[in-house]
Structure 1
Amino acid sequence: MYIKNLELKNGLPKICIPLIAKNKEELKTEINTLKDIYYDLIEWRIDHYEKVEEESELLEALELIRQELPDCVLLVTFRTIYEGGNTITKRYADIYRGLIKTHQIDLIDVEFSRGDELFTEILKLSHHHHVGVIASYHDFSQTPSKKEMMACFEKMKTLQADIFKLAVMPKSIEDVLALLEVTYKANKLFTQPIITMSMSKLGFITRATGELFGSAVTFGSGKEASAPGQISAEQLRQLLLLMHEGL
């Protein structure tokens, strides 16, 4: 699968750096920190943005990103508080609709637990405007059983998502191994790219072994981490290269 000229599912896992600025000034600072950092795509976490409910402010921020990073693959994510995000809004779908129609974004992350009807509506609109859709599920309390995690991927396929993402919280090494096993099987079973991670320090290894087990994208911090266990993009790049040399 290609997003612009970025190929997912093959080769080294692609490094994604989240932007978690609260306002335009912080956004400018974050973007400036990217100049000397390797990355493959950028995730704009709009749930961190203070004026996320104000469409004009959000569109101005998007314009700023595109002025500074015109060629980058841009993923937009509204992570709700239910799945480890920074806020909640009744305008989840409305905000996404407005951003999709700008033709300035490449990928959008949709929490598939929001319901089939809403997910399908956003997916159809996204595809109409040539925006790829990541179906995501996050569990910050536990690691579901292997059967439940595979069922999650099956549901994402049924909903016709372009990319499947699963992030879970481990309580033991066995949980980490379960996530890696499911990742490996899902990558073999589905043609769609798979993104998985076991969070916290315990699950750190899953962020660096995507090439071996089949996770297509891994997240590394630029200025500040956006999830438990996330390390800097620079450190992540070195680990990925070392892993690649050993395969």
Structure 2
Amino acid sequence: MTTESMPITATVRGIELGRARPEIIVPIMGDDQEAVLAQASAAAATSARIIEWRIDHFRPDVEDPEAHRELVLASLPALRAQLGPDRALLATVRTSAEGGARQIRDSDLAVLLEALIATRRAGSQSPIDLIDIETSRTPEIVARVMATAHRNGVVVVGSFHDFTSTPSEEELVELLRAQRRLGADVPKVAVTPSSARDVLALMSASLTVAAEGKGPHIAISMGSLGVVSRVAAETFGSAATFASVGKTSAPGQVEATEVSRMLELLRP
């Protein structure tokens, strides 16, 4: 393979998103540090190499943004140690506006995400390898978080979620392209189908964007109708899929060991 034909990838801890088999991402959704570490241990026992910390589920009893941020940062070292050096950590604060568990102002969201990114010590790798930012948040906030992440060597997942419908194929293609133009290293769309044709629209959009060769992306059709998009991710150009160990973070997630088996069975 020539250098010109090598795929553009996003690399975290030696894991190349956008090359060969899609990565499995397992979310952990504990509401306190003990639960987070227990779920991290279970996730690390699977073949998943990227673990997503759904921070919006952490300490729901603490509403004050500053107090919550301090608790999150205090728990980060133990979580990073639990995962070990070979698994990547994706930090996600899914807002209530996109189906998440925490209602948070965009300004407070930016402060929290930037604090997570900035935990890197001089000369060392950041404990956070990837950061999720919803691209529908205030444009200035999105740009600010992305710039902070890139300065600190953290890969940006720019995400969009629709829990009620599936936009048209053309709209999905433009969404993914727009996320990349904003600065996302890994654009992500997760949508809800009401028919098999909605699933086909998502997968066709994914193929179109993958063929452009601009870098990895994630495209998911949620719910039972969309399960095929999760297990046939490689065929349709998606760089990663989300799978569960215990509690699911989105409709249609399949248990991680089953997803791993299906990804191998369905390799093109």
Under a length normalisation based on structure 2, what TM-score does the superposition of the two structures give?
0.88
**1:123 alignment counterpart:** 146
**2:56 alignment counterpart:** 47
**Aligned letter for 1:68?**
Q
More helix by share: 1
Q: How does 1:40-79 map to 2 (within 5 A)?
A: 40-50=49-59, 51=62, 53=65, 54-71=68-85, 72-79=87-94
Cα deviation, residue 57, structure 1: 1.1
1:93 pairs, out of 93, 107, 110, with 110
Q: Indicate the SS of the match to 2:226.
A: helix
Q: Indicate the SS of the match to 1:7.
A: strand
User: What is the CA–CA distance in structure 1 between the aligned matches of 2:40 and 2:180, rounded to whole Å?
Assistant: 34
Cα deviation, residue 115, structure 1: 2.5
Size of the aligned set, in residue pairs, is 245
1:66-108 deviation line (CA, Å, top 9, x unaligned)? 1211312110011011111111112111111110100210100
Give the conservation status (yes or no) of the 8 Å contact 2:177–2:209.
no
Asked if 1:187 corresponds to 2:215, the answer is: no
- Cα 1:34–1:147 change in 2 (3 A) is closer
User: What is the CA–CA distance in structure 2 between the aligned matches of 1:142 and 1:176, rounded to whole Å?
Assistant: 11
Give the conservation status (yes or no) of the 8 Å contact 2:44–2:83.
no
Q: Give 5+ residue unaligned stretches, structure 2.
A: 1-8, 121-126
Cα RMSD of the aligned pairs, angstroms, is: 1.2
Q: Give 5+ residue unaligned stretches, structure 1.
A: none
Under a length normalisation based on structure 1, what TM-score does the superposition of the two structures give?
0.96
Cα deviation, residue 194, structure 1: 1.1
Q: Indicate the SS of the match to 1:114.
A: coil
1:157-193 deviation line (CA, Å, top 9, x unaligned)? 2212111100000000000000010000011114221
**Aligned letter for 2:83?**
L
User: What is the CA–CA distance in structure 2 between the aligned matches of 1:151 and 1:169, rounded to whole Å?
Assistant: 17
